[in-house]
Amino acid sequence: MKNALSPQAARLSPRLAAVLSCVEKCGVLADIGTDHAYLPIEAVRAGLCERAIACDVSVGPLEFAARNIRAAGLCDETFCNEADDNSWQTYGLIETRLGDGLAPLAADKADCIVIAGMGGMKIIEILQAEKKRAKRAVGTTGAVSEANVSRATGGMCRRRRI
């Protein structure tokens, strides 16, 4: 079942809008490979999650994400912290975290994980590397939602067991 999106979602690309339509209401959403944080911003605005964690493997995208999160008014503070591995970090309704795959997530921090915008083999690699963490996040269902976005499908959601 697809979620109704807010008017702000019109700014999302068709691919991101299709991915967002697969997100079920949750407490904490983690966007792995967030890039610009558009998806967690809209998920929080639409009330699909109470909070979000925007993760990326590179500092550059997190700097861009932090600017977008700050502009959306969804963080308390953005600052550069060079004392640890997180060069740019936001706190508030959306946090940014630097790291590869699911590694930036604490075991109990996210109950919905979005991995989109990368190749299928990379997604499989991430899930296999952190299978316990992924299973813990999806709970007893052991399922993840997959958005299949193409010209042929127009965007559809499918749940798979992990």
Report pLDDT digits (tens) over 9-52.
447 888 888 889 888 898 999 999 998 999 999 999 999 999 99
Instruction: Report the interhelical angle of 131-138 vs 120-129 (nearest 10°).
Output: 90
Give the pLDDT score at 70: 85
Handedness of CA 104, 68, 64, 39 (dihedral sign): positive
Give the pLDDT score at 15: 85
CA distances from 58 to 2, 64, 86, 99, 126 (A): 31, 11, 10, 7, 16
Q: How far apart are CA 31 and CA 7, in angstroms?
A: 21
Q: How far apart are CA 131 and CA 13, in angstroms?
A: 29
For the chain, strand residue ranges (E) read: 26-32, 49-56, 75-80, 88-92, 94-98, 112-115, 143-148, 156-161
The pair of three-digit structure tokens given for residue 27, joined into one six-digit string? 């407490």
Question: Looking at the chain, how many residues does it have?
Answer: 162
∠ CA 54-59-63, nearest 5°, is: 70
pTM over 0.75: yes
Task: Say which residue the tokens 């060079």 belong to.
Answer: 82
Given a cut of 50, the residues of the chain with pLDDT beneath it are 1-7, 9-10, 78-84, 86-87, 141-143, 151-152
Give the pLDDT score at 6: 47
Name, in order, each residue with C-beta under 8 angstroms of 65's C-beta and a sequence gap of 6 or more: 34, 35, 36, 37, 54, 56, 90, 96
CA 74 to chain centroid:
15
Give the pLDDT score at 61: 92
